[in-house]
Structure 1
Amino acid sequence: MLLYVLRRLASAVSVVVATMFAGFGLFFLAPTDAAGAICGNNCSAERIAHIRASLGLDEPFLSQFGAYLTGVLVGRTYEAGGVVVECSAPCLGFSYQLNQPVTALIADALPVTVSIVAGAATVSLTVGVLTGAFAARRRGRVADRVAVAAALGLGSVPFFVVALISALYLAGTVLPRAEHIPISEDPLGWAAGLLAPWLTLGVVSAAAYTRHARAAMIESLGEDYIRTARAKGLSERRVVYRHGLRAAITPVATLFGMDVAFQLTGALFTEAIFGLPGLGVLTLRAFAVFDLPVLMGAVLVGATILVVMNLVVDIAYTVLDPRVRLT
């Protein structure tokens, strides 16, 4: 088990480094003046020269990437407007347009995105799996057909349409107004302010879980060990939810790992529609003004989250399904 975790951890680190290398190459080897793009409009030639010298843009690509990687690991010093700025590790760059380290900008925005994604993922997994199990137990009945039809219909509607309807007609009326309050200040206010985004993003994502959980439950309930459990006199509830659901949730866990990517993408629209200052809004603003360091930092953080989630799902297999043996 330990050897497997170490191998997966090494693979995860290599993926993050490869993403960093590819992203750095795409952003800083583009056919544009990187220093001018980073500085923004109405920027003097002297300031552009300072940025070029501070980032080492006149050096070979590998030297530039090495300096960036060193900054991520141990920190780096930048010069902004004649002022030396110390960026402590992990340093993801410096936004010359906002005059702030990228790490500080992401640190302010990331809790909002993580709160949205974590809450929405909990809603989608809980609602989807329970609905799928409910439909599987009533296979072929009216309840099963209604659940499948609702999942198909909801899954076919573009997410941003559901988000717009929720923001216009539900948030502030049926549901509390969407806002982000730090959980350390007011846990109840934090949950109430994110309830509308959680339900919007979570219910849309639950449609896929419903279909997969239903199919997995139908297959699981037809296995020999389920018939044996029933023959021993176990209650139907215990047979279904303790034995059948545990085996059926393993393929759903794979979907959950991949679904984080959709949740992060959906969070971008969620933040923009509900007016929440998260990582998605920060990335959109950086893209609008071509703030390369912020874009690079956001891509790196997003890739790291996806890699970590897939690592957690792989390790969780041993808990969900004892038949999986890792060496």
Structure 2
Amino acid sequence: MSASLVLWRLLIALVTLLIASLIVFFSLSLIPGDPALSLLGVGATPGAVAALREQLGLNEPPLARYLGWLTGVLRGDLGTSIRYSQPVTELLGTRLPFTLTLALLSLGLTTVLALGLGILAARREGSWLDLVLRTGLTLLSAVPAFWLGLLLILVFAVKYRLLASTGFRGARDLILPVLTLVLVRVSLSTRMVRAALLGTMRSDHVRTARAKGLPERRVLLRHGLRNALIPLLTVLGLEFAELLTGTVIVENVFALPGMGTLALQAISARDFPLVQGAVLVLALFVVTVNLLVDLAYGLLDPRVRYG
């Protein structure tokens, strides 16, 4: 892949982040409620509210506030939280590792399960096992994450008392949140692996490998699975984005100290700088992962060329 193409992909990523920042910033201005009044309380005098609005810069035109915020972002300054009176970068820095850990653990387990179940379904195409797997995974994908999380709490924490229901005290408390995220996201990846394998295993180069007398397992892993990884990689990039946004719900269901819980609290408090910073950081990770997935195509399959 040429350097000019890599630079072009980077430029697209930067433009995507800029558009995301515009959408987030101006969408927040449509949310009803006054951050100054939310911070001071309903009993605050109009003079106190007006003074705080002036202090927070809320009286400036939206475009001027956006340009000022964007200038700070370019310097690495995401502003100061209205609710916590702390730099947004510090607040996010304490919560981001937890959210990334939760998302990456879920993505890793989703990948392993999708490969295993996808290969099993492809090798047993048309059997009762294939039908059960596809039906069960499709039904799971239709279940809302918050409902599944509450159901897992009811079963494993309330009824059998095997795990804690909420809070975070150690790695054991990640089991239910990770399981929730995996169960609602594994269906798409599994179906993609199955479909890609079925298509690849019927191709000419696989027939040639079989004609040479290679063992079926070697044909599957060396020739079939490698070519099936490209569509799976695309889906995993999308899954990572879904997992990051899904942590907002799951972290609140399980009362976990991640960015999802922090972002929801910021929205409730009309803490616009914190909301803007959280969304921008999540968008940065999503765009970066999609960029890496895009660039990885040529490494997995030399036949892939970009125009």
Whether these two folds match at TM > 0.5 is yes
Q: 1:122·1:202 contact (CA, 8 Å) conserved in 2? A: no
The residue number in structure 2 matching 1:252 is 232
**Which among 220, 232, 252 is matched to residue 200 of structure 2?**
220
Larger proportion of strand: 1
The residue number in structure 1 matching 2:113 is 127
Q: CA deviation at 1:28?
A: 3.8
The residue number in structure 1 matching 2:22 is 21
Q: CA deviation at 1:9?
A: 0.9
The residue number in structure 2 matching 1:79 is none
Separation of aligned partners in 2, 1:245 and 1:41:
61
Separation of aligned partners in 2, 1:228 and 1:175:
52
Q: 1:92·1:101 contact (CA, 8 Å) conserved in 2? A: yes
Matches within 5 A, 1:19-168: 19-28=20-29, 33=34, 35-37=36-38, 41-43=42-44, 48-74=49-75, 90-168=76-154
Q: Calculate the aligned-residue CA RMSD, in Å.
A: 2.4
Q: 1:123·1:203 contact (CA, 8 Å) conserved in 2? A: no
Structure 1 unaligned segments of length 5 or more: list them.
Answer: 75-89, 182-188
**Which among 232, 242, 257 is matched to residue 277 of structure 1?**
257
* CA distances 1:86-134 after superposition (whole Å, capped 9, x unpaired): xxxx222212222222222211221221111111111112101221111
The residue number in structure 2 matching 1:231 is 211
Percent identity reads 39
**Which among 284, 296, 304 is matched to residue 284 of structure 2?**
304
* CA distances 1:66-92 after superposition (whole Å, capped 9, x unpaired): 221222122xxxxxxxxxxxxxxx222
TM-score by length of 1: 0.84
Q: Which amino acid aligns with 2:96?
A: L
Separation of aligned partners in 2, 1:256 and 1:135:
19
The residue number in structure 2 matching 1:315 is 295
Relative contact order (C-alpha < 8 Å, sep 6+): which is higher?
2
Separation of aligned partners in 2, 1:285 and 1:41:
18
Q: 2:149·2:176 contact (CA, 8 Å) conserved in 1? A: no
Q: Which amino acid aligns with 2:129?
A: A
The residue number in structure 2 matching 1:289 is 269
**Which among 186, 194, 199 is matched to residue 206 of structure 1?**
186
Matches within 5 A, 1:3-22: 3-22=4-23
Separation of aligned partners in 1, 2:277 and 2:52:
18
Distance 1:175 1:249, change over 3 A: farther
The residue number in structure 1 matching 2:244 is 264
* CA distances 1:264-311 after superposition (whole Å, capped 9, x unpaired): 232122111212011111121122222222222222122222211211
Q: 2:82·2:272 contact (CA, 8 Å) conserved in 1? A: no
Q: CA deviation at 1:151?
A: 1.5
Q: 1:257·1:313 contact (CA, 8 Å) conserved in 2? A: yes
Structure 2 unaligned segments of length 5 or more: list them.
Answer: none
Q: Secondary structure at the match of 2:10?
A: helix
Q: Secondary structure at the match of 2:220?
A: helix
* CA distances 1:219-265 after superposition (whole Å, capped 9, x unpaired): 11000000111111222111101210111121122111122232123
Separation of aligned partners in 2, 1:142 and 1:29:
52
Q: 2:69·2:79 contact (CA, 8 Å) conserved in 1? A: yes
Distance 1:47 1:105, change over 3 A: farther
Q: 1:124·1:204 contact (CA, 8 Å) conserved in 2? A: no
